[in-house]
Amino acid sequence: MVKAIMGIKKGMTQLFLEDGTVVPVTVVEAGPCTVVQKKAAATDGYDAIQIGFGDIRERLVTKPLLGHFKKAGTAAKRHLREFHVDDLASYELGQQIKADIFEKGDVVDVSGTSKGKGFQGKIKRHGGSRGPMTHGSKSKRRVGSGGASSFPSRVIKGKAMPGHMGAETVTVQNLEVVEVDADKNVLIIKGAVPGPKGSLLSITKAVKSR
């Protein structure tokens, strides 16, 4: 069975390990999630399951999506995500996926939407260097030259410029699960994860081994 679940970031704190060391951790309310759809290679080209998380009133759901939930025989869910699986036969529609699919010591990848920073300059957005801060300088935090002189006579695509920063999908890899509270559906993960408190997270088994 694939190890994957959705959750809500509740915040950060710290824990003391058995050897007395203190580690920063993130508390995640993980699940319960419900299997809403099964996608098979014969019909869809790949094997995957679609899971739903978070209850929502039916009147707030569009009719096509409401029919999707009724076909699966499940209650309406606020969030939907797909996860590729190898053993599709081990899943059933309406099956519950809870935090206990993970164990203490598991290594996971956590994906979420990073905090939005609005419009920012090159120094904060890309870590650029500032100009001289002396009196008379006109390039303290400006971008400076945008391109070459005669060729190619344009700004090269990908040039680090001011613009919108944050609010994009970020994945942090190889984070350790420190504690699992199956009764409360809580995962305590070592380190920081993307997004502000209350944001949606996808937690999966780590793709890369340490």
Write the pLDDT tens digit of every residue in 77-110.
999 999 888 888 888 888 888 888 998 889 999 9
Q: Determine, yes or no, domain membership for 127.
A: no
Nearest to 118 by CA among 79, 82, 81, 164: 164
Q: Determine, yes or no, domain membership for 13.
A: yes
Task: Inform me whether the pLDDT recorded for 2 exceeds 80.
Answer: no
Q: What is the mean pLDDT of the chain?
A: 89
Per the CB < 8 A criterion, the answer to whether 112 and 198 are in contact is no
Q: Determine, yes or no, domain membership for 126.
A: no
Q: Determine, yes or no, domain membership for 123.
A: no
What is the reported pTM? 0.82
Task: Inform me whether the pLDDT recorded for 7 exceeds 70.
Answer: yes
Determine the straight-line distance between the first and last CA of the chain, rounded to whole angstroms: 21
Give the confidence band of 1 by pLDDT, cuts at 50, 70, 90.
low
Q: Determine, yes or no, domain membership for 101.
A: yes
CATH number of the CATH domain containing 69? 2.40.30.10
Q: Determine, yes or no, domain membership for 125.
A: no
Burial (Cβ within 10 Å: 0-12, 13-18, ≥19) of residue 174: middle
Give CA–CA dist 62/70, Å, rounded: 12
What is the tens place of the pLDDT at every residue in 119-137? 999 999 999 888 899 998 8
Total tally of structural domains belonging to the chain: 1
Q: Determine, yes or no, domain membership for 138.
A: no
State which residues form the domain around 51: 4-116+170-205
Q: Determine, yes or no, domain membership for 140.
A: no
Give CA–CA dist 111/28, Å, rounded: 12
